Amino acid sequence: MKPRSANSPVLLEVKNFLTSCKNVGAGIIVGVSGGSDSVGLVHALACQIKKDSVSKLIVAHVNHASRGAENDVDEVFVRHFVEKLREVTDALVEYKTIKLNPDDLNVGASWEKNARQARYKWFSEIAIENKVNWVFTAHTSNDQAETVLMRILRGSGVQGLGGIKPKRSLTKGVGLGRPLLFCSKEQIFDYLRGNNIVWREDPSNQQTRFLRNKIRLHLLPLLKSEYQPAIERILAGLSGHVHAYASLEKRLARKIGLKLEKPRVLDQVVLDRLAVSMVPAWKLSLFLRSLFARESWPTDAIHHSQWKKIAQNMGVDGYEVHLAGGIRIQSNRYTVVLGPT
Q: How deeply is 62 buried, as exposed, middle or buried, from its count of CB atoms within 10 A (0-12, 13-18, 19+)?
A: buried
Beta bridge pairs of residue 103: none
- Residue 306 confidence (pLDDT): 86
DSSP state of 67: S
pLDDT at 169: 92
Residues 6+ apart with CB under 8 A from 328: 320, 321, 322, 337, 338, 339, 340, 341
Provide the percentage of residues in the chain whose pLDDT is more than 70. Answer: 96
Q: What percent of the chain has pLDDT over 90?
A: 59
Which range in 7-21, 246-260, 300-314 is most confidently predicted, on average pLDDT?
Answer: 7-21
Query: Does the structure show a pLDDT above 70 at 249?
Result: yes
Q: What's the pLDDT score for residue 109? A: 62
Domains parsed from the chain with CATH numbers = 9-226 (3.40.50.620), 266-340 (3.30.465)
Beta-bridged to residue 28, according to DSSP, are 57, 134
Query: Is residue 36 within 8 Å of residue 192, measured between CB atoms?
Result: yes
- DSSP H or E segment with residue 323: strand 320-323
**Would the pLDDT of 51 be above 80?**
no
Q: Residue 60: how many CB atoms within 10 A of its CB?
A: 24
Residue 216 is given by DSSP the state I
Which tens digit of pLDDT belongs to each residue from 94-116? 999 999 888 777 776 688 888 89
Q: Over the chain, what is the mean pLDDT?
A: 89
Question: Please, which pLDDT band fits residue 191 given cuts at 50, 70 and 90?
Answer: very high
- Summarize pLDDT for 196-246 with one digit per residue, the tens: 999 998 777 777 777 888 999 999 999 999 999 999 999 988 888 887 777
- First-residue to last-residue Cα distance in the chain: 54
CB-based contacts of 53, cutoff 8 Å, min separation 6: 24, 25
pLDDT for 4: 63
Of 4-8, 36-40, 192-196, the least confident: 4-8
Amino acid at 32: V
Q: What is the pTM of this model?
A: 0.77
Per-residue confidence (pLDDT) for residue 211, from 0 to 100 = 83
Q: Residues in the chain, how many?
A: 341
